[in-house]
């Protein structure tokens, strides 16, 4: 018995060491960016992995001014908030319909949603820009939000539909209808509040995606006053050189808000995934 206990402790120690090493590998890019954000260009080029003996905050001041941080921050928050809110609203209502209405039509729609999840954006970005560009409706934050809703709903519907089928009993819906609620009232008064764990999961996943996305905004937005935080970091790339210090500082400024949100909601993400997304 003691021998087995000692063996188990040894295995747990090995697992912890492996997990710690994997954690270091995973966060090493962020650590490198953070270290270099306090260094001059010369120090970065000399040794990007070394910790500066004379750290400077000048890079952050330069990054704040050059990337027009407050304007870019406002654009990013606006696009992210409206995009995530519309994704949650549209996908939760669609998932409720698909979970409760069992017809050939609903099955086909759900399969289309599943197939859409595996189609890479790079496969459709050129036709997308060509079609919407020819209509003259690009270069708009509203159009960017609309595209995010279109690309984000498939995964959100899949998560919501699984949670509704496994964790929302039909009996409470039937009880609400007996009390006089119609379908819309039943959804918003009874079903929607029960989706809080999954809403938290979808919120964080989509906020991480939209906040950090570079490719889609770069195709849709070109005016300087509409740029998001990821796009504004391109200000430090010249024709023949890169201003590495302010660039690293701008990346840190871009990461911090969404990182804080993730730290506050990480427990809800795990509980939402476990309670709904992985059940069948």
Q: CB within 8 A of 187, min separation 6: which ones? A: 93, 96
Task: Give the model's pLDDT for residue 4.
Answer: 56
d(CA 11, CA 216): 45
d(CA 96, CA 167): 12
Q: Write phi, then psi, for 239 (nearest 5 degrees).
A: -70, -35
Task: Give the model's pLDDT for residue 167.
Answer: 85
Task: Give the model's pLDDT for residue 52.
Answer: 78
Least confident stretch, 30-39, 150-159, 265-274 = 265-274
- pLDDT by residue (tens digit) across 211-238? 989 889 988 888 888 899 999 888 787 6
Task: Give the model's pLDDT for residue 129.
Answer: 82
Task: Give the model's pLDDT for residue 118.
Answer: 84
Residue 240: pLDDT above 80?
Answer: no
Ranked by mean pLDDT, the top range of 69-83, 224-238, 239-253 is 69-83
At residue 259 the predicted structure's pLDDT band, cuts being 50, 70 and 90, is confident
**CA 138 to centroid of chain Cα atoms:** 23
Task: Burial-class residue 96 by CB neighbours within 10 Å (0-12, 13-18, 19+).
Answer: buried
Task: Give the model's pLDDT for residue 280.
Answer: 42
What share of the chain has pLDDT > 70, as a percent? 90
* pTM of the complete model: 0.83
Give per-residue burial for 221-259: e unless 16+ CB within 10 Å, then b.
beeeebbbbbbbbebbeeeeeebbbbbbbbbbbbbebbe
Q: Cα-Cα-Cα-Cα dihedral of 45, 50, 51, 53, to 10°? A: -70
Architecture of domain 68-277 in this structure: Orthogonal Bundle (1.10)
Mean pLDDT across 102-106: 88
C-alpha closest to that of 245 among 30, 29, 57, 36: 36
Residue 183: pLDDT above 80?
Answer: yes
**CA 149 to centroid of chain Cα atoms:** 13
Task: Give the model's pLDDT for residue 279.
Answer: 46
Per the model's pLDDT, the better-predicted residue between 116 and 77 turns out to be 77
Mean pLDDT across 151-174: 89
C-alpha closest to that of 37 among 197, 254, 210, 230: 254
The mean pLDDT value of the chain amounts to: 85
At residue 85 the predicted structure's pLDDT band, cuts being 50, 70 and 90, is very high
- pLDDT by residue (tens digit) across 25-64? 888 888 889 898 888 888 888 888 888 778 888 889 888 8
């Amino acid at each position: 018995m003691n021998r087995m206990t000692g063996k188990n402790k040894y295995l747990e120690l090995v697992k912890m060491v492996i997990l710690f090493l994997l954690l270091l590998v995973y966060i090493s890019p962020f650590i490198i960016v953070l270290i270099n954000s306090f260094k001059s260009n010369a120090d970065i080029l000399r040794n990007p992995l070394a910790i500066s003996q004379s750290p400077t905050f000048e890079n952050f001041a330069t990054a704040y001014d050059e990337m027009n941080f407050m304007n870019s921050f406002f654009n990013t928050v606006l696009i992210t908030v409206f995009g995530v809110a519309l994704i949650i609203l549209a996908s939760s209502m669609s998932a409720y319909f698909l979970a409760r209405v069992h017809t050939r039509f609903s099955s086909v729609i759900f399969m289309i949603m599943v197939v859409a999840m595996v189609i890479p954006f790079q496969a459709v970005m050129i036709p997308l820009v060509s079609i919407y560009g020819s209509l003259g409706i690009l270069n708009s934050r509203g159009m960017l939000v609309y595209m995010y809703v279109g690309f984000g709903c498939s995964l959100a519907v899949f998560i919501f539909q699984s949670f509704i089928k496994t964790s929302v009993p039909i009996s409470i819906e039937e009880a609400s209808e007996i009390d006089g609620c119609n379908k819309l009232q039943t959804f918003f008064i009874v079903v929607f509040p029960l989706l809080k764990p999954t809403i938290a999961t979808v919120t964080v996943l989509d906020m991480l995606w939209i906040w950090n996305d570079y490719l889609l905004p770069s195709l849709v937005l070109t005016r300087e006053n509409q740029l998001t935080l990821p796009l504004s970091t391109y200000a430090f790339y010249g024709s023949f050189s890169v201003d590495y210090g302010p660039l690293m500082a701008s990346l840190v400024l871009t990461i911090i808000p969404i990182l804080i949100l993730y730290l506050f909601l990480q427990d809800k993400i795990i509980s939402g995934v476990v309670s709904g997304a992985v059940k069948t």
